[in-house]
Amino acid sequence: MSGKQAARLKYACDMDKSVLLNNFEARGWIPVGPDDDWQFYWANVQSVRNVFSVDSGYRLQDDQVINHFPNHMELTRKDLMVKNIKRYRKELDKDNNPLAEKDDTGRFIHLDFIPHTYTLPADYNLFVEEFRKNPNTTWIMKPSGKARGIGIFLVNKLSQLKKWSRDSKTSNFVPPTSKDTYVISKYIDNPLLIGGKKFDLRLYVLVTTFRPLKCYMYKLGFSRFCTVKYNANVNELDNMFVHLTNVSIQKTGNDYNAVHGGKWTTQNLRLYLESTRGKEITDKLFDEIDWLIVHTLKAVAGVISNDRHCFECYGWDIIIDDNLKPWLIEVNASPSLTSTTSSDRIMKYKLINDVINIVIPPGEQPDVRWNKTAGKENLGNFYVLYDEDLAQSDPVALDPKMKLGTGPVRGGLRETKGRPSPATWK
């Protein structure tokens, strides 16, 4: 089939990362500058701001694709994400949608996937009320706009938050700039431990359009382990190595190992959980993770500006507690493409390769007017997480109660259950 000959596209890339550049070179694409006539632009978030800013007068052509949505921060800033999810839940509740079903204590059954969160300084008083109800709990403070574990600390006393209490008591109201806001969430102090160590999951999800929602989950996600034993002891709250699993923080610890980088494949995690906890509960866990992601994307779908030139590959951080319940920690717009080990490099290379194949079907010129339905043969290591077009066309699947069912078709949600086929990093 000679039609599959790769088209030599022009690309611009803001980041000097081998996993990106190797992919472009392997396709014979031609590097150009961001101000030139590029067809594919892997930009960093600042450049994206410029491209879409009202003053720039930039107008994207029909054959240009870029790797961020203009206002992705609705999903990737912790405070906005929480706000959008809370609003989504309220809306479903108002409509008496079965998804918004609550249990006897008033907690959502299906939509309870973010820990209790407040924005500071805006919600300071609400937070204090909650804190006083349960004074022995730990909370985690995160700056809304930062990444890689920078600026995070743990709080178990109100005195640690003096700064915000003073601000909210001032008579001259100074609206906080986005740089100063923090979110404070209930710390999950019963994380699932394996070998006595805490870990979190890093999953990659590609979104090609929000309305209709089309998203794809990468099978080769991984778990990141803390190098130091997990210790819930109050005195250890300051020890960031114990509590934070970001690789950039773990890397500086004494026990960091560069061979495996503290990372475990999702296969190993599944094998361990199935062997020690059983298949049903493990399947339920991975199912809930899929749904958690879909709900979050749906929550922001209404506010994201669905520019058809855009796609985005997000890094999702999820923690599992020891009841095998997943919790969403945050979503990253620019997941790290630096490789810490050779398996890592191979995995990230494949990730970019598959992303490009889904966004621009191989051999074709990019055309943003297409319906963005990726062919099965181009998915690579992705599987279709949710495709709203397919869901709409299948009336059976619109029943939200089927989310935990074992029926074969769940409205565009992935059809295969059970273990993913043995895709490996190698």
Partner 1 sequence: MESHFSPGYVQNLLQSLKSSKIYTDLHNAAQTEVSKTSVRVSELKKGVQSGLAASGWERKLRNEIYQYLLSHPVSSHPQATPAEHIKEPLLYLRKAQQAWEKRILKSLNSMCTELNIPLARKRPEKEQKELAGRWTELGIDGPDLTQIRPVYAPKDFLEVIMCLQNPNYNAGDSSGTYTLWGLVQLPLKLSSINRLRLLYSDMAINQCQTGVDDSSDIPADMFDSDRVKLGKKVLQAEHSPIAQEYAKKGCPVSLREDLWSQILGINVDEFDVLYYEQLKANVIAHDLLVDSLLYKDVKLTATNDDQYFVFEDFLYQILLPFTRDTEVLSHFARNSASPPKSYIRGKLGDENFSVVYPPNGVIPFHGFAMYVAPLCYLYKEPVKLYYAFRAIYTRFFFRLHSISSHTQGIVCLSLLFENLLQTHEAELFFYLKSVGCQPLKIAFKWLVRAFSGYLSSDQVLLLWDRILAYNSLEILSVLAVSIFSFRKTNLLKVQSYNAAEAVLADLTTLQVIPLIQLSLFSK
Q: What does the binding site for partner 1 look like in residue numbers (CB under 8 A)?
A: 194-197, 199, 225, 228-229, 255, 257, 259-260, 262-265, 267-268, 271-272, 274-276, 278-279, 282, 341, 343, 416-422, 424, 426
**Beta carbon of residue 207, minimum distance to partner 1 (angstroms, whole number):** 25
**Beta carbon of residue 278, minimum distance to partner 1 (angstroms, whole number):** 5
- Measured between its terminal Cα atoms, the distance across the chain in Å is 28
Q: Token pair for residue 406?
A: 């074992």
**Beta carbon of residue 424, minimum distance to partner 1 (angstroms, whole number):** 6
Helices 78-94, 279-301: axis angle to 10 degrees equals: 100
Between CA 67 and CA 25 the distance in angstroms is 18
Paired with 141 in beta bridges are 153, 184
Residue whose structure tokens are 């250890």: 236
**Beta carbon of residue 282, minimum distance to partner 1 (angstroms, whole number):** 8
Between CA 158 and CA 135 the distance in angstroms is 9
Side chain identity at residue 382, one-letter code: F
**Beta carbon of residue 12, minimum distance to partner 1 (angstroms, whole number):** 35
Which CB atom, from 210 or from 230, has the smaller least distance to partner 1? 230
Which CB atom, from 106 or from 196, has the smaller least distance to partner 1? 196
56 with 34: CB under 8 angstroms?
no
Residue 127: what are its φ and ψ, rounded to 5°? -65, -45
Between CA 387 and CA 330 the distance in angstroms is 22
120 with 142: CB under 8 angstroms?
no
Between CA 318 and CA 327 the distance in angstroms is 6
Which CB atom, from 160 or from 341, has the smaller least distance to partner 1? 341
In order, the DSSP letters of 250-263 are HTTSTT--TTTTTE
Which CB atom, from 201 or from 331, has the smaller least distance to partner 1? 201
Is it true that the peptide bond before 335 is cis, omega within 30 degrees of 0? no
Which CB atom, from 136 or from 276, has the smaller least distance to partner 1? 276
Which CB atom, from 194 or from 385, has the smaller least distance to partner 1? 194
Paired with 280 in beta bridges are none
CA dihedral 147, 292, 346, 45 (to 10 degrees): -40
| Segment holding 396, helix H or strand E | none
Which CB atom, from 72 or from 219, has the smaller least distance to partner 1? 219
**Beta carbon of residue 354, minimum distance to partner 1 (angstroms, whole number):** 19
| DSSP category for residue 99 | G
Q: Strand locations in 292-361, DSSP E? A: 312-320, 326-332
Which CB atom, from 148 or from 260, has the smaller least distance to partner 1? 260
Q: Token pair for residue 388?
A: 């709203």
**Beta carbon of residue 422, minimum distance to partner 1 (angstroms, whole number):** 7
Distances (CA, A) of 422 to 191, 266, 311, 377: 27, 11, 27, 17
Which CB atom, from 152 or from 346, has the smaller least distance to partner 1? 346
Which CB atom, from 126 or from 281, has the smaller least distance to partner 1? 281
**Beta carbon of residue 199, minimum distance to partner 1 (angstroms, whole number):** 8
**Beta carbon of residue 229, minimum distance to partner 1 (angstroms, whole number):** 4
**Beta carbon of residue 150, minimum distance to partner 1 (angstroms, whole number):** 26
